[in-house]
Chain A
């Protein structure tokens, strides 16, 4: 049994919470003693709609276990694992393998995401029904890393997921406009001599897919929105009543393309870091509900994939262990938003997106998935060390606010800032 004392919830109320047999059994004032949480914020356990775990296939970069540790350290009680493993998660065999590895690790709920097309090749649909009816009950499908760029295939995928209320999560990147793209297109790319990735390549895929979602009546999710123009397109689609949701990554809220001047591949990510104006537009989109949630796009890469020339380096950066601290900085410290919005963005809405009924809420009678956030203490990159990889772009930065405890299925997976492996 766990009792959390004097926890401040997102509605501002201060409560004690009793957890027993994996469930929240009591919320209110509890006479018994327990873990003191005075001045700490209690939130529904964080849910990441967008994680790369690298297992099977690239275990030198990350495994389900190491990624789950990073998740627990970051306050996550559920993560959605992208399909770009080797073999690709485009069938129930691989899906259930990842699901079981997640259960074995026991540090958070690992929800596999199914590939939309076989082998992520964008040529023919994967067996979506098969993955949906697997033990992992996949609801979200994505070719992330690759865009489902063929209109007809995208339309077929939407029709397919609609049958069971699923969702297609699109990596919006027109491949023909981004051949060899290395960074945001513009003056910095021109000076650095790197091939540009134009905003239009993202915006027009979102616009096209929004129209396909409208026509099919299916649910569409946009992964890692990066451009002010993309925010406008999603805003337009929502105004039309299209079933569209969107996520933004912590790094696209905080970092800009100017970091690429260092040619350090730790800043190489797809879609690329953009401008300060885009950062602002993304935050504004988050504030007005155009962007629904935070997705880390946690993308571990082993050392040699980054310790090389920029153009030879892999795309991607770590995110699970820093996400909440960054959201705290851009949303709470800046005064832009409150804890209620914070909880919506990092827990409730992504839980709903992925169909995770046990996540995203704190109330009596539900599975106890709770994150206790400490808004006062600092954290630096050196302490973000659970991932097998170290491609962390926040080197030299320190954030105010960090996860204090993580409770998954009624057990501490992180206690007093220290990850606790499960049996």
Chain B
């Protein structure tokens, strides 16, 4: 595997192998000396065109635990703001020795362009492109679900419900593709204006109401972050209506099963898509998701840079 751009790049077997690898690497994070020499001497660049603290830090720590050299290139504050193209920036970084470029970009397809247009030969890892995909987030979510719900290798039989702003969510797109690839039954629910046309074709059953979807007793409820900066431009959006219909509030929390897992990709808007109580609930896997993010990103970096699976 040279790049990770889209879940479409993975087969069921290669996805399971990545999860197995991440599971094994997660043990490194429990040790006193938390590093492996796997990528010593290799340079990894975080090329971020969007603000992101947690994903960038997660990739940075993952690369360091594998002994790679990490450079953080904040594209907003640098040459990109002077009009340098993505192509020129990437070629410059490669000339400086980057073996892998981890890219986050506000435009869908930016990572795909870096990997496929012959601009650079470095490995490209997509850390989120526009509304398209965020594959490492889906992998860490799949690992989290597998740890909590199953002993098997894939997610056959698990019912996952994804709720909220599907229109703008790359997390939702990657998760629908990956979780259904792994055998989970994926359903989605969100306000009509935020459910994009044809999303069912990606492998999700669409519910028109949160409560109706909850009545199906999902094993996992994944709440998406309300992208307030986009919502406020939508004249039909009001916080009050959203909370009433789409928030995982106290009442809905009470309808969840004892073993139901609550997930959220972060950062959380407490009191909006998820109530304070729900976020603090023992069934919430939010911090486990963050931990697993580290392991998954180590596995992905290792895979694309060494060409090996670690298990």
Binding site for B on A (CB under 8 A): 185-194, 196, 262-264, 304, 307-312
30 residue pairs A–B, Cβ–Cβ below 8 Å: A185-B197, A186-B197, A186-B198, A187-B202, A189-B198, A190-B199, A191-B173, A191-B202, A193-B109, A193-B129, A193-B130, A193-B131, A193-B132, A193-B173, A194-B109, A194-B132, A262-B116, A263-B108, A263-B116, A264-B116, A304-B85, A307-B87, A307-B117, A308-B87, A309-B105, A309-B107, A309-B113, A310-B107, A310-B113, A312-B107
In the bound complex, residues from chain A placing their C-beta under 8 Å from that of B173 are: 191, 193
Instruction: Give the 8 A-B CB pairs with smallest separation, nearest first.
Output: A187-B198, A193-B131, A193-B132, A263-B109, A193-B108, A190-B196, A187-B201, A311-B107
CB distance from A69 to the nearest CB of B (A): 28
In the bound complex, residues from chain B placing their C-beta under 8 Å from that of A310 are: 107-109, 113
In the bound complex, residues from chain A placing their C-beta under 8 Å from that of B130 are: 193-194, 311
In the bound complex, residues from chain A placing their C-beta under 8 Å from that of B132 are: 191-194
Q: Is residue B219 within 8 Å, beta carbon to beta carbon, of the partner chain?
A: no
Q: Is residue B170 within 8 Å, beta carbon to beta carbon, of the partner chain?
A: yes
With both beta carbons as reference points, the residue of chain B lying nearest to A311 in the complex is identified as B107
Q: Is residue B165 within 8 Å, beta carbon to beta carbon, of the partner chain?
A: no
Q: Are B86 and A309 in contact (CB under 8 A)?
A: yes
Q: Are A191 and B116 in contact (CB under 8 A)?
A: no
Q: Is residue B60 within 8 Å, beta carbon to beta carbon, of the partner chain?
A: no
Q: Are A190 and B198 in contact (CB under 8 A)?
A: yes
Q: Are A263 and B170 in contact (CB under 8 A)?
A: no
With both beta carbons as reference points, the residue of chain B lying nearest to A191 in the complex is identified as B202
Cα separation A187 to B105 with both chains bound (whole Å): 22
In the bound complex, residues from chain A placing their C-beta under 8 Å from that of B109 are: 192-194, 263, 309-311
Q: Are A193 and B133 in contact (CB under 8 A)?
A: yes
Query: Main secondary structure on chain B at its contact with chain A?
Result: mixed
Cα separation A304 to B201 with both chains bound (whole Å): 34
| Interchain CB contact (< 8 A) of B113 among A185, A189, A263 | A263
Q: Is residue B112 within 8 Å, beta carbon to beta carbon, of the partner chain?
A: yes
In the bound complex, residues from chain B placing their C-beta under 8 Å from that of A190 are: 196-199, 201-202
In the bound complex, residues from chain A placing their C-beta under 8 Å from that of B85 are: 304, 308
Most buried by A among B107, B132, B199: B107
Cα separation A307 to B114 with both chains bound (whole Å): 11
CB distance from B55 to the nearest CB of A (A): 17
With both beta carbons as reference points, the residue of chain B lying nearest to A196 in the complex is identified as B197
Cα separation A185 to B199 with both chains bound (whole Å): 12
Interface residues of B in 107-149 (CB under 8 A from A): 107-110, 112-113, 116-117, 129-133
Cα separation A192 to B197 with both chains bound (whole Å): 12
CB distance from A77 to the nearest CB of B (A): 38
In the bound complex, residues from chain B placing their C-beta under 8 Å from that of A192 are: 108-109, 132
With both beta carbons as reference points, the residue of chain B lying nearest to A304 in the complex is identified as B85
In the bound complex, residues from chain A placing their C-beta under 8 Å from that of B129 are: 193
CB distance from A264 to the nearest CB of B (A): 7
Interface residues of B in 72-99 (CB under 8 A from A): 85-87
In the bound complex, residues from chain A placing their C-beta under 8 Å from that of B198 are: 186-191
Q: Are B113 and A193 in contact (CB under 8 A)?
A: no
Cα separation A312 to B107 with both chains bound (whole Å): 9
In the bound complex, residues from chain B placing their C-beta under 8 Å from that of A304 are: 85
Q: Are A187 and B197 in contact (CB under 8 A)?
A: yes
CB distance from B206 to the nearest CB of A (A): 12
In the bound complex, residues from chain A placing their C-beta under 8 Å from that of B107 are: 309-312
Given contacts A308-B85, A310-B109, contact A191 B117 (CB under 8 A): no
In the bound complex, residues from chain B placing their C-beta under 8 Å from that of A196 are: 197
In the bound complex, residues from chain B placing their C-beta under 8 Å from that of A307 are: 87, 117
In the bound complex, residues from chain B placing their C-beta under 8 Å from that of A186 are: 197-198
Cα separation A264 to B117 with both chains bound (whole Å): 8
In the bound complex, residues from chain A placing their C-beta under 8 Å from that of B110 are: 309
Interface residues of B in 42-62 (CB under 8 A from A): none
CB distance from A44 to the nearest CB of B (A): 42
Given contacts A193-B108, A193-B129, contact A308 B201 (CB under 8 A): no
Interface string of B175-203 (1 = CB under 8 A from A): 00000000000000000000011110110
In the bound complex, residues from chain B placing their C-beta under 8 Å from that of A263 are: 108-109, 112-113, 116
Cα separation A296 to B24 with both chains bound (whole Å): 57
Cα separation A308 to B201 with both chains bound (whole Å): 29
CB distance from A384 to the nearest CB of B (A): 21
Told that A190-B202, A191-B201 touch, could you supply 13 new A-B pairs with CB distance under 8 A? A189-B197, A189-B198, A191-B198, A193-B130, A194-B108, A262-B112, A263-B109, A264-B116, A308-B85, A309-B107, A309-B113, A310-B109, A311-B130
Cα separation A264 to B109 with both chains bound (whole Å): 9
With both beta carbons as reference points, the residue of chain A lying nearest to B199 in the complex is identified as A190
Q: Are A308 and B116 in contact (CB under 8 A)?
A: no
In the bound complex, residues from chain B placing their C-beta under 8 Å from that of A188 are: 198
Cα separation A190 to B117 with both chains bound (whole Å): 23
Cα separation A295 to B36 with both chains bound (whole Å): 62
CB distance from B204 to the nearest CB of A (A): 11
CB distance from B142 to the nearest CB of A (A): 19
CB distance from A281 to the nearest CB of B (A): 19
In the bound complex, residues from chain B placing their C-beta under 8 Å from that of A262 are: 112, 116
Cα separation A118 to B199 with both chains bound (whole Å): 42
In the bound complex, residues from chain A placing their C-beta under 8 Å from that of B199 are: 187, 190
Cα separation A98 to B301 with both chains bound (whole Å): 56
CB distance from A107 to the nearest CB of B (A): 34
Interface string of B219-237 (1 = CB under 8 A from A): 0000000000000000000
With both beta carbons as reference points, the residue of chain A lying nearest to B131 in the complex is identified as A193
CB distance from A381 to the nearest CB of B (A): 17
Cα separation A94 to B276 with both chains bound (whole Å): 65
Q: Are B108 and A311 in contact (CB under 8 A)?
A: yes
With both beta carbons as reference points, the residue of chain A lying nearest to B106 in the complex is identified as A311
In the bound complex, residues from chain A placing their C-beta under 8 Å from that of B131 are: 193-194
CB distance from A193 to the nearest CB of B (A): 3
Given contacts A192-B108, A193-B131, A264-B117, contact A308 B86 (CB under 8 A): yes
Cα separation A340 to B83 with both chains bound (whole Å): 52
Cα separation A145 to B133 with both chains bound (whole Å): 31
With both beta carbons as reference points, the residue of chain B lying nearest to A312 in the complex is identified as B107
Cα separation A189 to B196 with both chains bound (whole Å): 9
With both beta carbons as reference points, the residue of chain B lying nearest to A186 in the complex is identified as B198
Most buried by B among A185, A191, A194, A262: A191
Cα separation A309 to B196 with both chains bound (whole Å): 23
Cα separation A196 to B198 with both chains bound (whole Å): 12
